[in-house]
Amino acid sequence: MSNGSFPPTFRRPSGLLLAVAVLLVAGAAGWLAWSAFAGDGSGERGGRAPHASGEPAGGPGGESPDASPDPAGDRPGADPSGDAGDRSLRGKVVVIDPGHNPHNGEHAAKIARTVDVGTHKKECDTVGAATASGYSEAEYTLDVARRVRRLLEDRGAEVRLTQDGDRPYGPCVDERAEIGNRAHADAVVSVHADGSGTGNRGFHVIAPARVRAGKADTSAITGPSRTLADRLIDRFGRATGAAPANYLGGGSGLTVRDDLGGLNLSAVPKVFIECGNMRDSEDAALLTDARWRERAARGIADGVTDFLRD
């Protein structure tokens, strides 16, 4: 037409239609570029698993510097046994009793004095056992107790130690029991490592016998303490891969005693766990391994957790 208009069969595209067309073209180009980068959608990019450093997880060798043969993981700070954010033990009080004290040997006269444990009198405390290399039971128990505390606190429990390396010696066995009683603890675990003969291997848990003598009366706690012992035997064995002791308990991992002041004087559920034999070279190799101690702590924490959730 002489006035420059289009024939009636054609209409000039509106501005909106042009904008939509441009967006569609740009979107298609972007999708093609992303597809080339992303590969087949299996999680690989450019033929490599995504990792912040640009290397496969764990570095060029493919193994993390702190990798462990334990598939559940054993790095301090991690609690692989429970769901993230698990606070199921909120409101529960747990006392962990690290056996002996690294400084007991410096106070021989004080730890040798006797205290009343109901059935008889016995020493306030002892120096405990040690490996052939000189790693002491007291060092072991304090390290494991601190690891157990961390794991249980992560699950919401209030955790108290009978000593945290903050005492010159002890406490004496009667005071150790009293600490749990005063706390109205829902569970108490006394952590130890045995000092038996070479060739005697494995762990065992000691539950209180029924005792009523003097100021000792375990009649109300023998049942729940036995349940706590059973949970610990199960969980400790699973976490560490260790077998129940081959030298007592008939292979069950359980012994019952009436001569331990820490049990006789307890008014709350309490057990001892002997995590291994420090005087056997194979057990000593485990007890002195920090990664194995983390697994031991996890086994104890899991046993306590199972007991408190029952």
**Residues catalogued as catalytic:** 274
Q: In this structure, are residues 232 and 271 in contact, taking their beta carbons and an 8 Å threshold?
A: yes
Of the candidates 193, 166, 168, 165, the residue with the CA atom closest to the CA atom of residue 109:
168
C-alpha span between 249 and 251 (Å, rounded): 5
CA distance between the termini of the chain: 92
Beta bridge partners of 97: 190
Beta strands in 62-141 (DSSP E): 93-98, 114-116, 121-123
Residue for token pair 């109300």: 220
Q: Which amino acid is at 103?
A: H
Overall residue count recorded for the chain in this entry? 310
3-state secondary structure of 245: coil
Please, how many CA atoms are within 13 Å of residue 292, restricted to the half-sphere of its CB? Answer: 15
C-alpha span between 201 and 194 (Å, rounded): 9
Q: In this structure, are residues 243 and 171 in contact, taking their beta carbons and an 8 Å threshold?
A: no
C-alpha span between 249 and 207 (Å, rounded): 11
Alpha helices in 156-280 (DSSP H): 173-182, 222-240, 261-264
Q: Which residues contact residue 44 at a Cβ distance below 8 angstroms, ignoring those fewer than 6 apart?
A: 50
3-state secondary structure of 273: strand
C-alpha span between 283 and 223 (Å, rounded): 31
